[in-house]
Amino acid sequence: MRILVTNDDGIFADGLWTLVGELKSIADIVVVAPDREMSAIGTAVSLHQPVRARKVTPKVDGVETYAVEGTPADSVILALGKLVRDRVDLVISGINRGANLGDDVLISGTVGAALQASLHGFPAFAISLALGDNLHFGNAAKFATLLAIRFSSGALPNNICLNVNLPLEQIKGVRLTHPARKSHTDTVEERYDNGRQHYQLVRQRINKPIDEGTDIWAVEQGNISISPLLTLDANPSPLISDSLCAELFQELQQRA
């Protein structure tokens, strides 16, 4: 199996390389990712300027690695359309520094890259870890590997896009969820720099009870959340089930 790995935190982010280090035991890895931080850029694509890419030295030996002067979605399009064409079985975006839950799914560059891969007909998932004082990406990398094995074996269908989020604290379970709606609010603050006025957009979680079954609910309860975002068939696949979640949790505990 060959896996394309990308992210929106930039090509040298720890989350990406912890993921690559773990995935290397089960697959060939190619990394194509933005050369800088590109968080909150969503599915943006650079249609009106050149997109440059250069080969760079990987942080894990033996991994073909390209840095892209563009967005996460640009990186995926470039990889699948040119750099590693016909050689990819699965696309993974992450591990993002910070959760991508609720309304944030629509602005996340991490998720944007996975959606772009899905639009090109590739199985894909985004994976993010909730922010905290001591970020350890190890469990998220192990969980991504368990999912990759299931895509490879056919236990997960190749026509879906998943959004996966891990809690910071100890993991209590794995839940199948849907993204919470109206979870965030944007306010506009008027500010001044050197006497010159500008506006600052401030994005905040709305302080309200969160519905059961949503991604925010699952992660706040200490669970790993799996939200199917897109399936290329009319009906969601029966292969993504609560029993699969239970199986994944059991296996993660054995490996942790």
For Mn ion, the binding residues (CB under 5 A) are: 8-9, 39, 96
Of residues 113 and 216, the one with the C-beta less far from Mn ion? 113
Smallest CA-to-CA distance from 171 within 128, 221, 223, 219 is with: 223
Give the shortest CB-8-to-Mn ion separation in angstroms: 4
Of residues 28 and 37, the one with the C-beta less far from Mn ion? 37
Of residues 157 and 167, the one with the C-beta less far from Mn ion? 167
CB atoms within 10 A of CB 106: 14
The answer to whether the beta carbons of residues 104 and 183 sit under 8 Å apart is: yes
Give the shortest CB-47-to-Mn ion separation in angstroms: 22
Comparing every residue's Cβ against Mn ion, the nearest one is 39
Q: What is the spatial distance between Cα 41 and Cα 49, in angstroms, rounded to a whole number?
A: 16
Ramachandran sector of residue 159 (left: φ over 0; alpha: ψ -120 to 50; beta: rest): alpha
Give the shortest CB-67-to-Mn ion separation in angstroms: 16
Give the shortest CB-40-to-Mn ion separation in angstroms: 7
Give the shortest CB-60-to-Mn ion separation in angstroms: 20
Give the shortest CB-232-to-Mn ion separation in angstroms: 26
Q: What is the spatial distance between Cα 7 and Cα 12, in angstroms, rounded to a whole number?
A: 10
Of residues 100 and 150, the one with the C-beta less far from Mn ion? 100
Give the shortest CB-9-to-Mn ion separation in angstroms: 4
Of residues 14 and 89, the one with the C-beta less far from Mn ion? 14
Q: Which amino acid is at 255?
A: R
Of residues 94 and 157, the one with the C-beta less far from Mn ion? 94
φ/ψ (deg, to 5) at 251? -70, -35
Pairing of strands 196-205, 184-193: antiparallel
Of residues 98 and 123, the one with the C-beta less far from Mn ion? 98
Q: What is the spatial distance between Cα 149 and Cα 83, in angstroms, rounded to a whole number?
A: 24
64-67's contacts with Cβ under 8 Å and 24+ in sequence apart are 64/29, 64/30, 64/31, 65/11, 65/30, 65/31, 65/32, 66/30, 66/31, 66/32, 66/33, 67/11, 67/33, 67/34, 67/35
